[in-house]
Amino acid sequence: MAHYGHVRLLGFPTLTRPRHVSHRTLLPPSPTRSFQLSALGQAVTFAAESISAIHSVGVPWYLSIPLAAVGVNFSIRLPIQYYTRQLIFRRNQLNPLISAWNSRHAAAVPRAGNTEHIWRMRVAALTSKAQRRIYKAWGVQRWKTLAPFLSMVPFVIVSEALRRLSGAPMGWISHSIGLTGLPGEGVLFNPDLLHGGCLWFVDLTAMDPYFALPALSSILMAKSSWGRLSKAQLRALLSLDASNVPKNLATRIQTSIGRALLLVPLVPMLFADLPSAIFLYWATTFALNDINESILDRTVPRYEPKLKIVRKASTAMPYLRGHHRQGSGEKNS
């Protein structure tokens, strides 16, 4: 008999004083959540059947899974990355205009009665407001930068489909995001995966005994994410910013997200007990990032600004004050 809270108690009609069970636990799932789980379950089933269809034409499993990753990459991931690259290109073209507004606000905000820090904060707030207005007028709002996160949806769906094909137990991440309620659990298991691998990972339903596939996934992921950052960007993310230059809320959030993303390449090693089929898909997906970058560099070249932004030095800087003192001394002499 099941031993899960009120289910066990409901199995004993003679009990007159069952322990308290909240009404929220007994309520059925809402229609919206049921629809979402049904749609997600259908997507997982479709992904599993698509991978099985590739194998059914005679392609071995250790090639069917990478081919599925290639299909997802060129049908979903590459178009999203192309859109993001164009978005960055158009934003970079607007940098001279934003810099001009920054200079205008710097000249309009009075310094009298304000410290240098307060003056910089006011100028930064006005510039950020102008930046939002310009981005909205040109259709390059900040929230559109979240488009790359949409590629995580097929990544999770295909990973869940491979988990079901492998017959692996569900982890805490699947429980936390609600995958426990998906229909068809255990039905999609394919025993051919037991001997569908190659080299040292013959059994694709078992974990990699040498942790080579998880390590390869982490290395490829680190190469694609850390390799895009310059030394200055890495130094800014890894060190505490002790400068007095004020930063708006969007910049602080972007810095926090960047620091958190530095730890993402460690995720494959934390889940090294997953089936080898999943890591085969992950390694192929991360390896395709370099191919996507080479394609994007040819179709959407990186923007080289034609106008150089000239930043004026603040008149409150010490070396300028020293220069003025030196000039006054020469006059007195």
Percent of the chain with pLDDT over 90: 23
Phi, psi of 198 (to 5 degrees): -155, 175
Q: Cα separation of 55 and 62, whole Å?
A: 9
Q: Cα separation of 287 and 157, whole Å?
A: 19
Quick one: tokens of 330? 């020469």
Structure confidence by residue, pLDDT tens digits, 149-166: 888 889 999 998 999 898
Q: What is the pLDDT of residue 225?
A: 79
Percent of the chain with pLDDT over 70: 68
Structure confidence by residue, pLDDT tens digits, 91-123: 888 888 888 888 888 888 887 666 777 888 888
- Nearest residue to 93 via CA among 298, 310, 307, 296: 307
pLDDT at 258 over 80: no
pLDDT at 148 over 90: no
Partners of 198 in the β-ladder: 201
Count of residues making up the chain: 333
